């Protein structure tokens, strides 16, 4: 199958393009938000081809991830709208931009998202994340905490940036991702947008993974850390409460509880390893690449056949 797909979320797309299909990625000279083309810091296979949008005429289905993409899709193509994000604003009654449509299906990446978005009469489904298993393995030899996030300065309380200083009092904090270079504070070190493989190697040497997002769908970096074998310390919010069982980490809405847990894992590497081993087992089972691609193959087949 030939799939029209914009490069929006690098980690999610890295998993998606591992399938058996041909993935047609729009590119433009500016490589802007609607023409990024192939990823430069992720490993994508050759069947992910970048082309100018005007030259993509042989697609069988379109994967849309932003409302602005709808008008760019040829009218004859079936459309699957992938919702990566939690609703904003007055959350219990937030209407999805694709609500009450009969010409597409919304594929949520978490059950939390499907529960909280008001999609009206639009058909919905849930295809949980799957990832390419990281090559790195947890060693935890550095008594430091790792965070992976994007734009924590701009997003502030959403990503829990205001909590960094409290955890840095317990252990040095290493923050990886895009838009982290301006972070400042005692015992906080920023690693600006390292290549994915390099980032995994660095994160795996930290004692525990810190997930402080107050309001997020489910960070793929959390799943990556779990598959690496890292114990998790995180806020008990959104889908994290489903992703991280009690024997794989410590989740709480009490920051004090998480600070105590961080201190415990820093002093007890054996406990950290036990939690990390369980985290890896859970993540490899629930968020496997094979399951993810099989779920997507079923949906793609249903939508293509249904459109005919």
List the chain pLDDT tens, one digit each, 308 residues: 999 999 999 999 999 999 999 999 999 999 999 999 999 888 899 999 999 999 999 999 999 999 999 999 999 999 999 999 999 989 989 999 999 999 999 999 999 999 999 999 999 999 999 999 999 999 999 999 999 999 999 999 999 999 999 999 999 999 999 999 999 889 999 999 999 999 999 999 999 999 999 999 998 999 999 999 999 999 999 999 999 999 999 999 999 999 999 999 999 999 999 999 999 999 999 999 999 999 999 999 999 887 65
Domain annotation for the chain: domains and CATH numbers: 2-130+289-307 (3.40.50), 142-286 (3.40.50.2000)
144 and 171 Cβ atoms separated by less than 8 Å: yes
According to the model, what pLDDT value does residue 295 have? 98
Structural tokens at position 106:
């919304």
| Gap between the Cα atoms of 59 and 4, Å rounded | 6
Task: Return all residues near 147 (Cβ < 8 A) that are at least 6 apart.
Answer: 164, 173, 174, 175, 176, 177, 209, 210, 211, 212
According to the model, what pLDDT value does residue 308 have? 58
According to the model, what pLDDT value does residue 39 have? 92
According to the model, what pLDDT value does residue 305 have? 85
Task: For the beta carbon of residue 26, count every other beta carbon within 10 angstroms.
Answer: 21
Q: Of 18, 22, 19, 16, whose CA–CA distance to 4 is shortest? A: 22
| Gap between the Cα atoms of 120 and 98, Å rounded | 9
| Gap between the Cα atoms of 12 and 22, Å rounded | 16
| Gap between the Cα atoms of 303 and 308, Å rounded | 9
According to the model, what pLDDT value does residue 184 have? 83
According to the model, what pLDDT value does residue 41 have? 82
Q: How far apart are the first and last CA of the chain?
A: 14
3-state secondary structure labels for all residues of the chain: CEEEECCCCHHHHHHHCCCCCEEEEEECCCCCCCCECCCCCCCCCCCEEEECHHHCCCCCEEEECCHHHHHHCCCCCCEEEEECCCCCCCHHHCECCCCCCCCEEEEECCHHHHHHCECCCCEEEECCCCCCCCCCCCCCCEEEEEEECCCHHHHHHHHCHHHHHHHHCCCCEEEEECCCCCCCCCCEEEEECCCHHHHHHHHCCEEEEEECCCCCCCCHHHHHHHHHCCCEEEECCCCHHHHCCCCCEEEECCHHHHHHHHHHHHHCHHHHHHHHHHHHHHHHHHCCHHHHHHHHHHHHHHHHHHHC
Q: Of 128, 108, 11, whose CA–CA distance to 65 is shortest? A: 108
Would the CA dihedral through 190, 192, 193, 198 be positive or negative?
A: negative
Q: What pTM does this model have?
A: 0.94
Structural tokens at position 13:
């797309």
Give the neighbor-by-neighbor strand order of the sheet with 142-148: 188-192, 173-177, 142-148, 206-211, 232-235, 249-252
């Amino acid at each position: 199958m030939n799939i029209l797909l914009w490069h929006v979320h690098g980690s999610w797309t890295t998993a998606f393009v591992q399938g058996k299909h041909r993935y047609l990625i729009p590119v433009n000279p500016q490589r802007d938000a609607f023409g990024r083309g192939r990823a430069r810091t992720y490993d994508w296979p050759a069947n992910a081809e970048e082309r100018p949008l005007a030259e993509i005429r042989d697609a069988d289905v379109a994967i849309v991830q932003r409302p602005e993409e709808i008008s760019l899709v040829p009218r004859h193509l079936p459309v699957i709208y992938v919702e990566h994000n939690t609703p904003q604003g007055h959350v219990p009654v937030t209407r999805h931009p694709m609500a009450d449509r009969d010409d597409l299906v919304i594929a949520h990446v978490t059950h939390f998202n499907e529960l909280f978005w008001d999609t009206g009469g639009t058909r919905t489904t849930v295809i949980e994340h799957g990832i390419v298993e990281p090559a790195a393995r947890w060693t935890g030899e550095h008594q430091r905490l790792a965070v992976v996030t994007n734009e924590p300065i701009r997003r502030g309380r959403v990503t829990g940036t205001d909590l960094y200083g409290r955890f840095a009092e317990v252990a040095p904090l290493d923050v990886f991702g895009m838009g982290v270079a301006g972070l400042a504070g005692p015992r906080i070190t920023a690693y600006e947008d390292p290549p994915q493989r390099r980032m995994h190697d660095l994160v795996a040497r930290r004692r525990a993974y810190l997930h402080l997002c107050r309001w997020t769908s489910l960070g793929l970096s959390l799943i990556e850390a779990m598959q690496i074998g890292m114990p998790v310390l995180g806020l008990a919010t959104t889908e994290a409460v489903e992703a991280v069982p009690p024997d794989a980490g410590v989740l709480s809405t009490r920051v004090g509880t998480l600070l105590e847990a961080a201190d415990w894992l820093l002093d007890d590497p054996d406990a950290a390893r036990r939690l990390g081993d369980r985290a890896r087992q859970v993540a490899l089972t629930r968020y496997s690449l094979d399951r993810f691609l099989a779920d997507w193959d079923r949906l793609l087949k249903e939508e293509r056949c249904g459109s005919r």
